[in-house]
Amino acid sequence: MDDDPQVFLVALGYLAKKQGMTKVDKKAGLNRESLYKALAGGGNPRFSTVNKVIKALGGLMAVA
């Protein structure tokens, strides 16, 4: 397990690209440029942005 949040963001970006960034940005209510910046290595997105992307990908964020 990697505790680096950047690894999570890069993985989330990979999933968004696989599903199609245009599709994800519309579902998340974000513009495409903001989405790329948020999910790029070194990005520092807000929690709300990450949550919107997860929901747009059909996921659910949970704390266990």
- DSSP-assigned letters across all residues of 18-52: HH-HHHHHHHHT--HHHHHHHHSTT----HHHHHH
Q: Across the chain, what does the average pLDDT equal?
A: 90
pLDDT higher than threshold 70 for residue 1: no
Predicted local confidence at residue 42, as pLDDT: 81
Q: What angle do CA 35, 31, 44 make, to 5 degrees?
A: 30
Instruction: Give the pTM.
Output: 0.85
Percent of the residues in the chain that have a pLDDT greater than 70, as a whole number: 97
pLDDT digits (tens, 9 = 90+) for 30-44: 999 988 888 887 888
Mean predicted confidence (pLDDT) in 43-52: 91
**Angstrom distance (rounded) from CA 64 to CA 44:** 23
